[in-house]
Structure 1
């Protein structure tokens, strides 16, 4: 399946190994974010908040 990244607009071929494959196959209109853009957004969020996902208690993640 071919899908364009919501941010960089590059086309990507998705197969079953892609973590977003099931989401896209169930809802073809869902947005796709490539790994590069996803990592960039995570780094920007970590830089701006000063938080890292490993700093969050595993139980608190589900309560907030």
Structure 2
């Protein structure tokens, strides 16, 4: 378990190995963490701004969500 803070919303989180960013934070504690809520919000904003669908860009990403 690692304690970290979201780069965008500044909320504190305790993440474990099941979090996709766990290895990144473990290897570099100063690396930026983005919580799932902020990450999804950024993806939606990027989709609406660009008009691109994530499934078209990365067809395997939908299996990771």
TM-score under structure 2 length normalisation: 0.83
Q: How far apart, in 1, do the equivalents of 2:43 and 2:27 lie?
A: 25
Which residue does 1:3 correspond to in 2? 4
- Structure 2 residue matching 1:38: 3-state secondary structure: helix
Shift of the 7–57 alpha-carbon distance from structure 1 to 2, 3 Å rule, reads closer
Q: Which runs of 5+ in 1 are unaligned?
A: 59-64
Which residue does 1:27 correspond to in 2? 28
**Per-residue deviation, 1:56:** 2.7
Q: Once superposed, what is the RMSD of the aligned Cα atoms?
A: 1.3
Shift of the 16–50 alpha-carbon distance from structure 1 to 2, 3 Å rule, reads same
Structure 1's consecutive aligned runs of 4 or more residues displaced over 2 angstroms after TM superposition are none
Cα offsets for 1:40-64 (capped at 9, x unmatched): 0000000000001212376xxxxxx
TM-score under structure 1 length normalisation: 0.85
Task: Return the index of the structure with the highest Cα Rg.
Answer: 1
